[in-house]
Chain A
Amino acid sequence: MLQNHSMKTPEIFQARYGARAARVGSSLPRADALAKVTGREPYACDFYHPDMLWLGVKRAGVPHARLRGIDVAAARELSGVAAVLTHDDVQGSNRQGVVRKDQPVLVDDKVRHAGDAVALVLAMDPASLARALELIRLDLDPLPGVFDLDQALAPGAPLVHGDNPQGNLMLAGQVTIGQGLDALDDCAVVVQEVFRLPRQEHAYLETEAGWALWDPDGGLTITASTQTPFRDMAEVAEALGLERDQVRIKAPYPGGAFGGKDGVSVQSLLGLAALAAPGVPVKIWLDRQESFIASPKRHPARLAYRLGAGQDGTLQALHAVLHYDTGPYDHLGGVVATLGLEHSGGAYVIPHVHLETYAVYTNNPVGGAFRGFGVPQVNAAMEGMMERLAGRLGMDPAKLRQKNILRPGSLTPVGVTLDCSVGLADCLEQAAGHRLWTRRRPWKAAAGPHQRRGVGLALALHGMGYGPVVPDVANAKIELSDQGRLVVYCGVVDMGQGNASTYLQVAGHLLNQDLAHLELVLPDTARTLPSGSSSASRTTFTYGRALLAAAGELKVRLLKRAADMLMVPVEEMTLVPGAVRHLTSGRELSLKDLAGFMAGEERVAVHSFRAPVSPQRPSDDPGLTLHGLPHRIFSFGAQLCGVEVDRLTGRVRVLSLVTFCDVGNVINRQVLEQQVQGGAAQGLGYALWERMRSREGRIIENDLSTYIIPTAGDLPDMELVVVPGFEPEGPFGMKGAGELPTDLPAAAVAAAVADACGAAPNRFPITPQVVLELLHQGAARNLA
């Protein structure tokens, strides 16, 4: 019943692919695929136990209020209720957060958004749980709230955190390069626009879930759907007043996460509840509505841009002012706003910039990590500016870009020398030569009655890893098991991107093993080693490098031991699937036999790797440096999008989407394609459908019937072009590819819609109503 999260490759998969060599460069099907699609993979939400208690949360329901009291008497008396808990039951700091610990586990002074957790109920069954939650009475003294950026920043605005020295400004940062703002005066052409980007919900299949067990002798074990088991361990311990070694976090594969499970969601709640029920497993599983209310979202943003260029299209100056609504807690909002700042000038050389970024506290839903991490917002804006500039100058949008793109050794818009592989020019060249671009005029002319077609182009870059201060470290561990299999202890979560399977491929490649002789242990703070969060397009890069070294060390050890046993020179030994073979005699020693001759510790190799950082400091603001500015290694991409716009309804159909990417050398093309397609689907949702609005801090689109994510019927066939590349710092020359695909579609779709309508959008998602207005504007412009 208590699941063991050591994963054996499922038998059917074994039968089919077990003998396949795990080689780097091979499009090997993912090791986790079959168990997932057949429903056998045990997710955190799949745990059941006859004695289990159900945990539920009483949430505030109001966006801003002082907590005067909580009446739990009636709920406690209800039969079937095991415990009702409030902040009084929390023994630790009762605060959690990644950078700033500004979020309570259970509200103790003030409610700051409608989804704040105020009390917990533990009950024998879901029905008793629901009744008890209804019986809890919150005594709340409502406070005026702040629900938009201007309101929050106005003098005298109600404060979300009274103790924040900058009021409702959570983080402010500026970078000035060259002559900054002054340079705009000398530009032959200046275009300006204000862009508004919506709040986006991750909408992962598996809502927040997990279970916990408090064994007074053995400690607290929490199994949760999380991207960050090791950080969770530290946060839960501090918030609940435990020692770190009393907390163990196990992280099965999440059923989707996309950044939404980067940080504590239900972990502290589970821990607190488990402490109240020693020896009894407690389980929580949020329903969709509660997940929507409680979980962090992609930050809504308002982005004001002025871009100046010479008459020939050479970019000269940029002024960008970024405002991100981070809701009531930092979560990762400061880091998001800083990554946005770093990427706000896009993939171009701009000698003079003045960039400002602001993360603003409000009483809206929490803003947090979401694949792309502040970049999809600014990339839609910067690429929108390039479209406007091309229009103003009457230049071909591809040629304008060609003139200005980043190349090896270029200074990025924040004035940092690019010191990584840069394949952007190849991406752009491939895009500009693709038939969707070169044949776009006849393709557009073939639109049917009442239809207009347009083709758009967008570029992007995405920085990898944590930046210069926070150590981007992975600790790999690999073991020869007594069964003669090579076990990779994966310390960083695979939330669906395929990194865990890729680790097997990397280890198999180096040790010349097939899948039948490889095994994976999923993240578990007691068994695997700390390897950082599953985020920032870093998992394969950083853990991959560590694993390469660990596997290399183990390989040498295995060959030596085998050589000694056969009394032959080690140079004559080689690893083959399941065995070590003596090349000249053909004699073999099976890995199982070899394991039998080795002590436990001898069969294990570990290696720690820290990703390289940039020594450059584009800003002397230590806050920006701490929050990740600048990055060292970037991936690059371009995207072409062909749309058809219905003039009668404004409906946009995406007919083609071609992504070009430089992600270094590709370890597994199939996994990369899955990443690009999934990221593009999320990006298209962001471009055309998804928005989670709030009114007075309460979510309007509060379920999946009103929050519109695209289905298969809305998505085009997708094409991927990978330009040849090799990043010397990456394992086998690879770079991260997880987020880049999400950064492109809003920009590419906007360019395509503008091409179709004759007017460019500045508001997302680009709804049919907006498109009708754009068609109207475009028609008026044509007449004029």
Chain B
Amino acid sequence: MTRVWLPSSLEELWPLWAENPGAALYAGGTDLLVRRRAGLVRPEALICLERVAELGRIEPDGPEVFLGAAASFSRLLSSPLVTEKYPVLAAALQRIGSPQVRHMGTLGGNLVTASPAGDSLPPLYTLDAVVELVAVGATRRVPIAEFIQGPGQVDLRPGELVSGVRLPATDGNLQHFEKVGSRAALAISIASLAVAGRLSDQGEVLQIKLAWGSVGPTVVCAPAAEAALQGKKLTPETLAAAGELAQQAASPIDDLRASREYRLALVKNLLLRLAP
């Protein structure tokens, strides 16, 4: 039997965690419980974060928006703060798993698992999300690209947990997400692309951020591709040129879902969707 703790506040959590240092923390469990069932991890005890009030908040904070690490994808999708301000994130969350998985899964889980196939991650990169970390008596903020260091590797210190992400205000008029999976739903990304930026009235790129999922060990950004699009209109030609630069930044692998070549083709082709 494994003990499962269900604290309802950080105040309750800290002493529990101190008494059970071998416990695994989780919220929805959509990653951890699968790994546990497969025998890949055998935590001594489990601390479930889904009832910790501070981690479930979805609220504006000045010009920013705070999204709690343990708020489920479904809850995020039901919040206008997400759907109206950050459609690129909403589109990605909508493509995660199935309704059942979205009822359980959380941003905190996607961040800490740090899989390149975590569908919420590419949008968070394009939105310049900042990860907020809490420990007893301390809070730290780290840009997402620095927080995620490699597959499964994150800048999380002992005694720290992810409390949420902060999204800066955006005045962008271009937000786009596309995921290629093995089927319409319940599929892990073969590749994905998130785009956030601003176009002029004439359609020229004033600012653009691009992030690809599942084509490298972490989310792949391609500053060279972004720079190549700066000031240009999004045409098949400019996008193809940027796509080729992005292919150089990507380092996809062969796995049982798809080949490296196919993923590389997608890095470029998914950009072409932006051509009007």
Contact = CB atoms under 8 A, between A and B. Distances in A.
A450 B270 CA distance: 11
A504 B234 CA distance: 65
B270 A649 contact: yes
Given A711-B183, A768-B180, A648 B259 contact: no
Contact of B182 (A450, A648, A650, A708): A708
B241 interface: no
A442 interface: no
A648 B265 CA distance: 8
Contacts of A706: 256-257
A700 B256 CA distance: 8
B183 A450 contact: no
A134 to B, nearest CB: 11
B186 interface: yes
B65 to A, nearest CB: 30
Contacts of B262: 650, 768-769, 772
Contacts of B130: none
20 contacts: A648-B266, A648-B270, A649-B180, A649-B266, A649-B270, A689-B182, A689-B183, A700-B256, A706-B256, A711-B98, A711-B183, A711-B185, A713-B183, A713-B185, A714-B183, A714-B184, A768-B258, A769-B261, A769-B262, A772-B265
Given A708-B183, A711-B183, A772-B265, A450 B273 contact: yes
Interface in A709-760: 710-711, 713-714
Given A648-B270, A649-B269, A768-B180, 8 more contacts: A689-B183, A693-B256, A711-B98, A711-B184, A713-B183, A713-B185, A714-B183, A769-B258
B184 A648 contact: no
Given A649-B266, A706-B256, A772-B262, A713 B184 contact: yes
B188 interface: yes
B187 interface: yes
Interface in B38-80: none
A450 B266 CA distance: 14
A596 B261 CA distance: 77
A706 B258 CA distance: 11
Given A700-B256, A769-B258, A772-B262, A648 B269 contact: yes
Contacts of A713: 183-185
A705 interface: yes
B272 interface: yes
A673 interface: no
A710 B183 contact: yes
A763 interface: no
B184 A705 contact: no
A108 interface: no
Interface of B: 98, 180, 182-188, 256-259, 261-262, 265-266, 269-270, 272-273
Interface string A687-709: 00100010000001100011010
A713 B94 CA distance: 13
A443 B270 CA distance: 25
Nearest to B265: A772
Interface string A641-678: 00000001111000000000000000000000000000
B29 to A, nearest CB: 16
Interface in A354-378: none
Nearest to A770: B262
B183 A701 contact: no
Most chain B beta carbons < 10 A, residue from A649, A700, A708, A714: A649
Contacts of B256: 693, 700-701, 706
Interface residues of A, number: 19
Interface in A68-116: none
A9 B44 CA distance: 49
Report whether over half of chain A's contact residues are helix, strand or loop; otherwise say mixed.
loop
A714 to B, nearest CB: 5
Contacts of A650: 262
* Minimum-distance CB pairs A-B, first 3: A713-B184, A648-B269, A769-B262
A711 B273 contact: no
B88 to A, nearest CB: 18
A768 B180 CA distance: 10
B162 to A, nearest CB: 25
A357 B186 CA distance: 39
Contacts of A710: 183
A223 to B, nearest CB: 28
B178 to A, nearest CB: 8
Nearest to A651: B180
A714 B185 CA distance: 8
B118 to A, nearest CB: 15
Given A700-B256, A768-B262, A648 B183 contact: no
A111 to B, nearest CB: 24
Most chain B beta carbons < 10 A, residue from A648, A711, A713: A648
A767 to B, nearest CB: 8
Nearest to A693: B256
Given A768-B262, A769-B259, A772-B265, A648 B273 contact: yes
A372 B184 CA distance: 26
Contacts of B182: 689, 708
Given A689-B182, A711-B183, A713-B183, A705 B272 contact: no
Nearest to A649: B180
A768 B184 CA distance: 13
Contacts of A700: 256
Contacts of B98: 711
A648 B269 CA distance: 5
Contacts of B188: 705
B100 to A, nearest CB: 12
Contacts of B258: 768-769
B188 to A, nearest CB: 7
A63 to B, nearest CB: 19
Contacts of B180: 649, 651, 768
Contacts of A711: 98, 183-186
Contacts of A768: 180, 258, 262
A398 B167 CA distance: 58
A323 to B, nearest CB: 24
Nearest to B258: A769
Nearest to A706: B256
Interface string A761-776: 0000000110010000
A538 to B, nearest CB: 33
Contacts of B186: 711
Contacts of A693: 256
B213 to A, nearest CB: 14
A700 B254 CA distance: 14
Contacts of B259: 769
Contacts of B272: 450, 648
A708 B256 CA distance: 11
Nearest to A701: B256
Contacts of B270: 648-649
B91 to A, nearest CB: 16
Nearest to A772: B265
Nearest to B270: A648
Most chain A beta carbons < 10 A, residue from B98, B183, B266: B183
A713 B182 CA distance: 12
B35 to A, nearest CB: 12
Contact of A708 (B187, B261, B269): B187
A683 B197 CA distance: 43
Nearest to A289: B38
A711 B184 CA distance: 8
Contacts of A701: 256
Contacts of A705: 188
Nearest to B185: A713
Interface string A278-318: 00000000000000000000000000000000000000000
